Each structure stands twice: as structure tokens, then as C-alpha cells.
Amino acid sequence: MPSILIVDDEVGIRELLSEILSDEGYDIVVAENAATARAQRHKARPDLVLLDIWMPDSDGISLLKEWAAAGQLNMPVIMMSGHGTIDTAVEATRIGAIDYLEKPIALQKLLGTVKRALEQRAAQESPRISPLTLAAFPRSSTLKELGKRLGQISLRSRHVLFRLHGGSLAELAARSLPTRRNQWLDLGAVSGPIDVDLLQGTQGGILYVEELNRLSRPQQKNLAFALDRLERYDLHLAAATDADADALVDAGWDAVIVKRLFEVSLALPALEEIRDDIPDLASQLLVHLIECGEAPHRKFSTAALNALRTQGWNSGYTQLRAAVRSLALGTLEEEIGGEDVQRLISPAPATHGLPLDLPLREAREAFERVYFEHHLMLEGGNMTRLAEKTGLERTHLYRKLKQLGISSGRRGEDRSG
């Protein structure tokens, strides 16, 4: 039988609803507050949630928003309240609640609503998991403030330029822009010319550029084409760069396009600046990967979260996400320990295990292969930062990686055609 999570701070209501629904054959799990509800939802994976709005630690609407932002709203949620208003009901359904019950709840109303919700769930295909947004981190004052700034900017501007320094939160910030539809197009991943059909397919969503410096000339033209059509197709553009306007123009960018992009900009915090939020970021990333079916059920130990918090994340959010996914896939036990993090982040010294009886040329190539693979992993595949760290000019760096048989993950960012 389906399982139902009942979340209410009043013990009498929890017991009454549990008794009624248990008699109907449902498996029941209960929670008295938002903190317990989070844990029970993650552990029990209920088919339906009955969620009270008024609770002591966090109200039900906030918890509903948190689940929606974290991509965890993949089960129907029925809100409950003894002091409900039409506005509250509308707000709850807008966020993703399937229905709303006023207390005291009539028996037939309860059973009918629960039955319909479960029937709708059974009739639907597997729900699409929403991407993580800043709203998934309500305990971080820095990320909450960043979310508010993005909301304010989006009311008056169709595009925003993220100014980067250090580990970037650009993708997380971009996915947090309020849009009409959950559509996403990474312009840096489109190598050919874009047309109106592609923009129409993304209508109501977000166009994204991870780093302006990596766009080829044709991709710069795609960006200019899209920039002129944001309003027509109800699109928002989020682009990011650690370069200033003059540097982009010197690199060959059209000065008019650069000026337009820099009209509305926002400095993003580096991961180094929000180090204390890294455990929460990693935990939410892990839960999201599990919900999406991209990782087996895993959890972080306190030691693992502390180890992640103390690491340097030069490539930011994408590097942290890659590390969390690698840990989830590569750890044999259910709990990811501190030693697992150290093994991934700080592998054995580069010279460990290298054959020393080879001719000098072959030994040097073996060392270089280990060296570049090590730093490529640390930089999350970011070729710009790898070039800076190794002190090699980028053309020479690509040639060296090709010579060593190492995949660079290059996406045409240096093309000049």
C-alpha cells in the first residue's frame, strides 16, 4: 500500500490522521516539525505528504518551497491548516501543492482528497526533477540575500552578467532566476548557429553562458542573436565572466555587445566566502543526485562534510557537484566518510608508483600524465585555470594533453572562425 507522511506539530491530529489512514490500509510515517519531516521524507520516500502550515520551527509553505527548490517535490503534497486563507491556498498550489484541507478535516473530505492525489500520482509519468536553486538553502543568509537580489534584478532586466572571482556559483545563481517555465539552454554547448526555433523551444526559460571568455566567434554571434530576442521569447539571459569589459574587447568581442552585457551585473560570492555553507551545499547536491536516479542512496558523515568544507574549490559549484557525484558513485558503504573525501581530493603524491627503471623520456611522460590528470581533476576540467596553474599557454596546453592521451573536454572554446 502507498505510504503517507503526516507532518503536524499537534500530537492529537497526528494520532487521529494516522489512525484513520492506517485503517484504510496506508503505511503511515509521522513528523512533528519541519526538521523531522526533512529526515522522514529522505528516509521513507513517501508516496504522499499531508503537511501542516503552522509549525514551530518552520512553516509548511517554507518547507514546500524548500522541497520544490531542491528538486524533492516528486510526490503529491496536501496542505493542512486551521487558519487558512484563500491567499495561502493559492500560494501553496502555485509552489506545487496538489490540494488544501481546512481543519477540522471531515473524514470523507480527507479520504477523497488522499485517494485522488494518489490516483493522479499513479497516472502520471515519473515526475521531472527540478534543478537545485538558491531557495534550497534557507539557512544561508548569503545565499538568501543573493536570491533576493536576483529576483529584484529579474523584475527590471532580461539579462544579468555575473562577475566572478574565485570558485563560481554562476550555474546555481542562474537556475535561481524566476522564470515562467523550467527551460534551460547553455549557449556555450551550442557549436552551430542558433535560430528562432531553438529560442522558441526555450521560451519562458533561461539562456546561460558559463564563461564569456570561452565562447568562440560563432558562439558570440549566437549570444548577440539571442540578446536581441529575449523579450520576444520571454527569455532571461545569465552570463558569467571573470574578465572585465576592456579585456573582452581586446580579445575580439564586439564592443557594443560587451557594453550591453555589462549594463546589469552582479558580483557573485566565491565558495571560499561561504565556506560554512559548503556542507549544506554538498548535502543538497547529494540528495538531488539520489532523487534524479544518478547516484545510489548515500549520506555524508560529519567528517566527510568537514573535509569538503576545508577544501579549496577553485572551479566552484560545478567542481563541488562533480566531487559529490564521484563520491556517491565510488563509495562502497552507505555512509561517505572523511577518508573517502581525502582519497578523492588529495590522491597519492604524483610520483607514487611511477616506474623509475624507464628511460628518462618515458619516465618524464609518465610523470606528466599523472601531473596533468591530477590538476585537471582538481580544477574540475576548467582549462583556463589549468593553464594558469601549470604556467602553460593554452594552445601549448591542449597540444601537451593530446600528446599524453588525456581528454581535455574541449568544447570549441578557442575556435576563432
Render 253-298 in DSSP notation, one character per residue: --HHHHHHHTTSEEEPPPGGGGGGGHHHHHHHHHHHHHHTTSS-S-
Residue 31 pLDDT greater than 80, yes or no: yes
Residue 110, phi-psi category: left (phi > 0), alpha (psi -120 to 50), beta (remainder): alpha
> CA quadruple 164, 167, 169, 170: dihedral positive or negative?
positive
**C-alpha to C-alpha distance for 92 and 120, rounded to whole angstroms:** 18
What is the structure's pLDDT at 356?
Answer: 66
Residue 170 grid cell: 554562476
What is the structure's pLDDT at 84?
Answer: 65
Region 338-350: mean pLDDT is: 76
With pLDDT > 90 as the criterion, what percentage of the chain qualifies? 60
Element (H, E) at 356: none
pLDDT in tens, 142-200: 999 999 999 999 999 999 999 998 778 999 999 999 998 889 999 999 989 999 999 99
With pLDDT > 70 as the criterion, what percentage of the chain qualifies? 94
What is the structure's pLDDT at 139?
Answer: 85
| Max mean pLDDT range (202-206, 290-294, 366-370) | 202-206
What is the structure's pLDDT at 170?
Answer: 95
Confidence of residue 1 (pLDDT cuts 50, 70, 90): confident
Region 237-257: mean pLDDT is: 96
Residue 70 pLDDT greater than 70, yes or no: yes
Region 107-132: mean pLDDT is: 84
DSSP 8-class letter at 136: G
Region 352-365: mean pLDDT is: 72
Q: Which residue has the higher pLDDT, 302 or 73?
A: 302
What is the structure's pLDDT at 368?
Answer: 86
Confidence of residue 353 (pLDDT cuts 50, 70, 90): low
DSSP secondary structure letters along 180-235: SS--EEEGGG--S---HHHHHHTTTSEEEES-GGG--HHHHHHHHHHHTTTTTTT-
Q: Angle at which helices 360-378 and 394-404 pack, to 10 degrees?
A: 120
Confidence of residue 294 (pLDDT cuts 50, 70, 90): confident
**C-alpha to C-alpha distance for 66 and 133, rounded to whole angstroms:** 9
Phi, psi of 65, deg, nearest 5: -60, -40
Region 238-260: mean pLDDT is: 96
What is the structure's pLDDT at 204?
Answer: 95
Confidence of residue 125 (pLDDT cuts 50, 70, 90): low
Residue 202 pLDDT greater than 50, yes or no: yes
Q: Which residue has the higher pLDDT, 382 or 391?
A: 391
Buried-exposed string 96-127: b where 16+ CB fall within 10 A, e elsewhere: ebbbbbeeebeeeebeebbeebbeebeeeeee
Residue 52 pLDDT greater than 70, yes or no: yes
What is the structure's pLDDT at 396?
Answer: 84
CB atoms within 10 A of CB 230: 16
Mean pLDDT (the chain, rounded): 88
What is the structure's pLDDT at 351?
Answer: 47
Residue 7 pLDDT greater than 80, yes or no: yes
Residue 412 pLDDT greater than 90, yes or no: no
All structural domains of the chain, each given as residue ranges with its CATH number in brackets, are 3-123 (3.40.50.2300), 135-267 (3.40.50.300), 274-345 (1.10.8.60), 360-404 (1.10.10.60)
Residue 318 grid cell: 560545478
> CA quadruple 240, 72, 291, 276: dihedral positive or negative?
positive
What is the structure's pLDDT at 72?
Answer: 84
What is the structure's pLDDT at 24?
Answer: 95
pLDDT in tens, 265-293: 999 999 989 999 999 999 999 989 988 88
